[in-house]
Structure 1
Amino acid sequence: MSASIKVFAPATVANVVCGYDVLGFAVNEPGDEVIMKLTEGSGIRITKITGDEGRLPLDPQKNTVSASVQHYLNHIGKPDVGVEIELHKKMPIGSGLGSSSASTVAGLFAVNTLFDNLLTNKELVPFAMKGEELACGYGHADNVAPALLGGFVLIRSYQPLDIISLPHPDDLYAAIVYPEVDVPTKDARQMIRSKVLLKDAVTQWGNVAGLVSGLFMKDYDLIGRSMTDILVEPTRSILIPDFYKLRSLAMKTGATGFGISGSGPSVFALTKDEATARAITQKLQQHLKGIGINSLSFVSEVNKKGPVILD
């Protein structure tokens, strides 16, 4: 059992437009890093957090990383083990890219590795969901499952938890732009309607099935026309500056499909190649700059590995 480890875990795009709380995929960048050490004492200590501008709690009961690690230690029968954690945020908080998820997954992967991989990555998902519950009040898996498993993931059921890894076209790229405006996940969730019309639900089911089929068949046209959301996007798009203009620009520049990443404000496009993805981020950032909004952009293939140990 080694005593110290450094782990990177990736950001994720949850929902993938039509799959609210049931679809997500991982990207190569951005992400978060955790350094974890087993110590002689007892209990979990967070010794350092960087990149958060002082926004995240050092209290181990309130931080998603330490809280999830504690659940894991309780499960393996070592609740009082001494653990020191450093968290290095390499991605924006509240971006809609699974910021809390990346931190939590890095911590769980680290502690599981230090204890000789007692659980598989898939078995770590429920522990990571505890972190999401702390972060936004609801333990959803559409960020943590792809962050742990890599690739595209479908959560077929929450009770019981049933997670399915999906194939995808090898040359699929994501173009992500994060407009620097504040959209707290809790607030964004509360805006969503709790009741929907049956005809709208039928449309949404068709799109989710179409998107999953398109991924299996590697059919870009089917993927693109299935990336339509009539339940959640109309409400959440209000919080994102010029959302429909951004979508129009992305589609004109060659996007296969476009939508909100998680609860926003980040938006993303899927493309057939890296050059198109870079052209899209450039156009979107240019437009946002024109209306006085700073932004960050990321271009990435779909991450196939999930969390990794860093040297």
Structure 2
Amino acid sequence: MTTFPEGNFTIVNNDTGRCLRVRLGRTTDVSDWKEGTKYLQYVTDKPNLELGEPDGSPATVWWFSTIDDAAERQPFNQIVSHAVGEYQNIGNHCVWLDNKPYPTAEDRKRAADQFRHKLDDMPQSLKEKLALLLPDAFKTWVEAEVGADASLAKQLELWHAYCASIAFPEHNVDEDQDGVEAAHSYIDAAAEEGIHRPQVESGPASTRMHGCGASRDKNSTYRWTYDGTHIYGADSKTVPAEQSYWTDQGGLLVGKSKGGPGQTWTIAPWKPTSATQPDPVKAIAYTGLFGPIAGLLGN
């Protein structure tokens, strides 16, 4: 098993060329005066994960924490940001992944759209056969709303949209019980002809930056494994590994099942040069840090 290199490294996607970056949170001066004395206080927003330009700046630099978790008696195996620890006073932050244990309304809508398209794409002979199941109440509604001359294709387009909403409701259906029963009968008849409704698949798991010392819940992980091409969860107690493969999905880092584009990564030791890190001032600027320090520098 290939492991993460020692020291600082960069993580670049082989398919897209984008690398894992961090954007540091803005630091705000919230100091206050009391009885003639100024009490200094600064508040720093949380850093954010990004996929972007592999420019070799400190924002692209990470290190692998193998410090032992005393509670679980195993290494943390966290991918930790170099820039957060170096340039902000909020402690070390690492890459977390949050799995969605249940399909959301968006997931159900996506499944409903897929089912509607499957019904619309049925062979014409099958459409004509199943059209005999359209309830009279629906035909009356079409005549009132669309017109008495509405074609069979238009009727079925509207009926399929209704059936899809019944198959994957966003809330409990408690109206027009006759229509609901007719829709289920139509769906069952379509299934007998090989037109089955799809499974509701949850969208990809999301990633974020979070403190290294925080505790996980049952649907989060910060433990990672690298096999030389893929980065995925190494946490048998929380998110299943098969749902956690790092994926560059249009510029967003998400966790998905293995397979498909945007899932292979190259991890290489970071080699700072004068072109990428000429001095500490520019190193801070590369990370996106703004606040009291930037103010003093005139940025």
What's the TM-score, normalizing by structure 1? Answer: 0.21
Structure (1 or 2) with the larger CA radius of gyration? 2
* Structure with the larger helix share: 1
Q: Which has the higher contact order (CA 8 A, sep 6+)?
A: 2
